[in-house]
């Protein structure tokens, strides 16, 4: 994955324009230990998470499916994707998004994520190890899209947004640990 570039003013000799390109850091999500129950401080943000993202589930599903299709297609051949592939991925995306919004971190759900939803979204077949990189990319995509939707409207009190983002980050960190442990 390429990092975004920024232009920085430079006083270095030999630069024609006086500026150079510099990489901006990207903060990847760090995994956290798997627990059977969502921690209490994160569970307090579940109502806010649902309030901000509950109506956005269809949009998130379509966006995630489109992201996975673009990520898995060869850059040179843009073949049409069959409806059955799109529907299977949409179903897996919907189940995963609903599990995130519910704060689900139960072992059965994590097993479904690792062994069914992740490989299905990645399009790699039934082996979770082959889907590891693409499933992590899907998780980061959801993290960015959901965080953007939470913070899309200005509000006088930012505490509900902070609670929702903390809850989202905690749930996704546990999901990431399950994906990495496959």
Question: Binning pLDDT at 50, 70 and 90, where does residue 12 land?
Answer: low
46-80 residue pLDDT tens:
999 999 999 999 999 999 999 998 877 655 566 77
H, E, C per residue of the chain: CCCCEEEEECCCCCCCCCEEEEECCCCCCCCCCCCCCCCHHHHCCHHHHHHHHHHHHHHHHHHHHHHHHHHHCCCCCCCCCCHHHHHHHHHHHHHHHHHHHCCCCCHHHHHHHHHHHHHHHHCCCCCCCCCHHHHHHHHHHHHHHHHHHHCCCCCCCCHHHHHHHHHHHHHHHHHHHHHHCC
Taking each helix axis from N to C terminus, what angle separates 83-101 and 132-150, rounded to the nearest 10 degrees? Answer: 60
Question: Binning pLDDT at 50, 70 and 90, where does residue 154 land?
Answer: confident
User: Residue 14: is its pLDDT beyond 70?
Assistant: no
77-96 residue pLDDT tens:
667 778 888 999 999 999 99
The lowest-confidence range among 20-29, 61-70, 126-135, 152-161 is: 20-29
Q: For residue 169, what pLDDT is reported?
A: 94
Domains of the chain: 34-180 (1.10.490)
96-128 residue pLDDT tens:
999 999 999 999 999 999 999 999 999 888 888
Distance (Å, rounded) from C-alpha 112 to C-alpha 99? 11
Q: Cβ distance 52 to 145 under 8 Å? A: no
Q: For residue 1, what pLDDT is reported?
A: 44
17 or 43, greater pLDDT: 43
């Amino acid at each position: 994955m390429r990092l975004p570039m920024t232009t920085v003013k430079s006083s270095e000799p030999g630069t024609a324009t006086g500026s150079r390109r510099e990489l901006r850091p990207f903060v990847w999500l760090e995994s956290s230990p798997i627990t059977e129950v969502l921690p209490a401080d994160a569970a307090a943000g579940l109502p806010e998470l649902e309030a901000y993202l509950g109506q956005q589930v269809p949009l998130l599903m379509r966006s995630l499916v489109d992201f996975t299709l673009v990520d898995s297609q060869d850059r040179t051949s843009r073949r049409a994707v069959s409806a059955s592939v799109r529907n299977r991925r949409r179903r897996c995306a919907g189940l995963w998004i609903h599990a995130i919004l519910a704060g689900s971190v139960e072992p059965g759900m994590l097993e479904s994520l690792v062994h069914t939803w992740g490989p299905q979204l990645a399009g790699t077949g039934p082996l979770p190890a082959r889907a590891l990189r693409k499933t992590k990319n899907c998780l980061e995509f959801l993290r960015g899209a959901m965080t953007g939707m939470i913070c899309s409207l200005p509000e006088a009190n930012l505490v509900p947004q902070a609670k929702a983002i903390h809850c989202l980050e905690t749930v996704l960190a546990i999901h990431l640990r399950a994906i990495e442990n496959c």
